[in-house]
Amino acid sequence: KAGVTQTPRYLIKTRGQQVTLSCSPISGHRSVSWYQQTPGQGLQFLFEYFSETQRNKGNFPGRFSGRQFSNSRSEMNVSTLELGDSALYLCASSLDYNEQFFGPGTRLTVL
Amino acid sequence: DAKTTQPTSMDCAEGRAANLPCNHSTISGNEYVYWYRQIHSQGPQYIIHGLKNNETNEMASLIITEDRKSSTLILPHATLRDTAVYYCIVFSGGSNYKLTFGKGTLLTVNP
């Protein structure tokens, strides 16, 4: 079974721009969660989608948004990028309320 | 979700068992103990989880104390590739479906 895939793997943007990251879950998984990992704050939960609906949300500003498509693929968007948004963004998929399987992440650098 | 406490770092000799402790004294009856690990700059990898009983899979064993206030992850024959940050997470799922990662334990396996 193919694992969770994330694209792109690396991204460089400048302040004020916006970015869209993509996540393809494991086949059959309907839950997709997003996490941000930085050296200072560690791994932090952004949001979770299930069947195209946002089911849970972490404590991030409204500049961070996401969506899920009918095939369970998910995208997250960050608008008006700030230097502090530089991070590894991780996507995880799961069957409902089971262990989460993580992708390799997208490394975003904001200059 | 309940908080967890783990040592910051541990060392282990290659071929020996690695025993990683975790305290979760405020765990609730419906909360599971999950273990993940993260090898540098990769996505976290699910290892094992349990509720009350000890669990074993091809990667590791999980020993949970009878009062459920602490647990130990055991890697029976550590290899150099097991060097990683190990996260112990208490998770109930349900309506609050997110993983709350702490700082974890950096396990270094030495030759």
> What is the mean pLDDT of each successive set of 10 residues along chain A, which is 111 residues long?
92 98 96 93 92 92 97 97 97 84 96 97
The interface residues of chain A toward chain B in range 33-72, judged by CB-CB distance below 8 A, are: 33, 35, 42-45, 48, 55-56, 58
* C-alpha triplet A105, A108, A109: angle, nearest 5°: 150
CA distance B32 to B50: 6
Rounded distance, CA A25 to CA A95, Å?
10
Summarised one tens digit per residue, pLDDT across range B57-89 is 999 999 999 999 999 999 999 999 999 999 999
Query: What's at B55, amino acid-wise?
Result: E
Q: So what's the pLDDT on residue B98?
A: 73
Residue B81's pLDDT is 95
Q: Minimal Cα–Cα distance from A18 to chain B, Å?
A: 23
Is the model's pLDDT at B102 over the cut of 60?
A: yes
pLDDT band at B92 (very low <50, low <70, confident <90, very high): confident
Q: Which of residues 39-68 of B touch A (CB under 8 A)?
A: 41-46, 49
